[in-house]
Amino acid sequence: MQDFTAQMYERSSFEGNQLPTLVYIGPLQLGREGQELHSHPGYAELTYVRAGEGIVDVDGQREPLAPGDFVLCGAGEPHSYHASGEQPLVGISCGFAQLLCRGMEENQFLTHPDQPVVHAGTGGRTLDALLTVLEQAAMDQSAGSAEVCSYLAAAAVTAALRIHRSAAERSEQVHYELGARTRMYLDRHYLEPLRLDQIAQAMGVSKFHLDRVFREYADCSPVQYMIRRRMARAQMLLASTDLTVRRIAEQCGYDNYNYFTSLFRKIIGMTPREYRKTVQGRAGRRG
């Protein structure tokens, strides 16, 4: 018979294998008026959505909610919920104290700025089932019920963290693919007078989402990436052709000569003419 004890402790989600304590568990039902922004300094909170649609605000970050989604709020994080449709937002919330997730501060699920909202869909069914059993156990006042609640609380937190980790990995891959697709699109169209909303429409996402994802991918915004490509082309034309600066500006997507010159100087550190003179001087010395 294989001994799983050592492996189990090594894989535990909790520092020192200390199980969390259930502070409370109960139903959540809110209309459009929702809640006031609030926080819980002494415990972390997990909220699972069972029906309806809504909005959660976690420390200024707003996210839509649908059935199967859940939210992980660490101690002290300001948050609020409200329904976004005619139907109420229905779910279940539970608080955990003495929560020591591996690598985290006490009563924290995640490290900032990890995404606190998980759009789990059908993947959240296991968590929903565990929370149902935990809610039933919390109403049991017989001997040993506190221990049962601790084990069920640990199981629920572990399930939530596993689903979060899996969703984060999927999201990272999707974001990378979106960043790569956007870069390829910009490489083909950077000379066109594109706005951020037009680029986002071509990618099939909102401009806010695209801007955030592309900044993570390329360390600059889509518009900044276009400008960098244009400036690189301008440098190449200045160094390798006898075209006038005005003509080069036009070939790099700028109808306004003065704006092009000002932008080139801001990014490259010298005017186009100064750049051409510097590059040609280096070439002459090498010759």
Check residue 20 and give its pLDDT: 86
Q: Are 196 and 233 members of one domain?
A: no
pLDDT along the chain (287 residues), means of 10: 47 75 91 90 92 90 88 90 92 87 76 70 82 92 84 89 78 83 95 95 89 88 96 95 96 96 95 92 60
User: Which of 128, 146, 167 marks a domain boundary?
Assistant: 167
Q: Which amino acid is at 30?
A: L
Q: Are 184 and 95 members of one domain?
A: no
β-pairing, 69-73 with 44-51? antiparallel
**Residues 150, 96: Cα–Cα separation, whole Å:** 9
Q: Are 58 and 17 members of one domain?
A: yes
Q: Are 204 and 228 members of one domain?
A: no
User: Which of 167, 200, 235 marks a domain boundary?
Assistant: 167
For residue 182, the enclosing domain spans 172-219
Q: Are 115 and 18 members of one domain?
A: yes
Check residue 3 and give its pLDDT: 52
Check residue 7 and give its pLDDT: 47
Closest residue by Cα to residue 152 from 10, 19, 13 = 19
Q: Are 9 and 87 members of one domain?
A: yes
Chain-centre distance of CA 194, in angstroms? 26
Q: Which amino acid is at 203?
A: M
**Residues 85, 175: Cα–Cα separation, whole Å:** 29
Check residue 121 and give its pLDDT: 64
Burial 171-187 (b: 16+ CB within 10 A, else e): eeeebeebbeebbeebe
